[in-house]
Amino acid sequence: MVGLVPAYQEAGRIGSVVRGVLAHLPVCIVVDDGSPDATAEEAEAAGARVARHPVNRGKGQALLTGFRCAAEAGADGAICLDGDGQHDPAEIPKFLALAESERPDIILGTRSRSTAMPAIRRFTNRFCSEIISRLAGTRIRDSQSGYRYVSLRAWRLARPKTASYDAESEFLIRAGRRGLSIRDIPIATTYGTETSKINPVMEPWRFLRLAARYTVGMD
Residue 189, pLDDT > 90, answer: no
Q: How confident is the model at residue 163, as a pLDDT?
A: 83
Overall pTM > 0.85? yes
In the chain, domain spans? 2-215
Q: How far is Cα 204 from Cα 194, in angstroms, rounded to an integer?
A: 20
100-127 average pLDDT score: 81
Q: How far is Cα 182 from Cα 113, in angstroms, rounded to an integer?
A: 20
Q: How confident is the model at residue 216, as a pLDDT?
A: 79
Q: How confident is the model at residue 176, as a pLDDT?
A: 97
Q: How confident is the model at residue 45, as a pLDDT?
A: 98
Angle at 39 between CA 75 and CA 16, to 5 degrees: 70
162-181 average pLDDT score: 94
Q: What percent of the chain has pLDDT over 90?
A: 75
Q: Say if residues 9 and 35 touch (Cβ distance below 8 Å).
A: yes
| Cα distances (Å, whole numbers) of residue 162 to 64, 114, 166, 173 | 10, 30, 7, 12
pLDDT band at 192 (very low <50, low <70, confident <90, very high): low
The predicted-structure confidence for 145-167, as pLDDT tens digits, reads as follows 999 999 999 999 999 998 888 99
The CATH code of domain 2-215 reads 3.90.550.10
CA pseudo-torsion sign 160, 198, 148, 74: positive
| Cα distances (Å, whole numbers) of residue 81 to 14, 28, 75, 145, 146 | 11, 11, 16, 9, 6
Q: In terms of pLDDT, which residue wins out, 191 or 168? A: 168
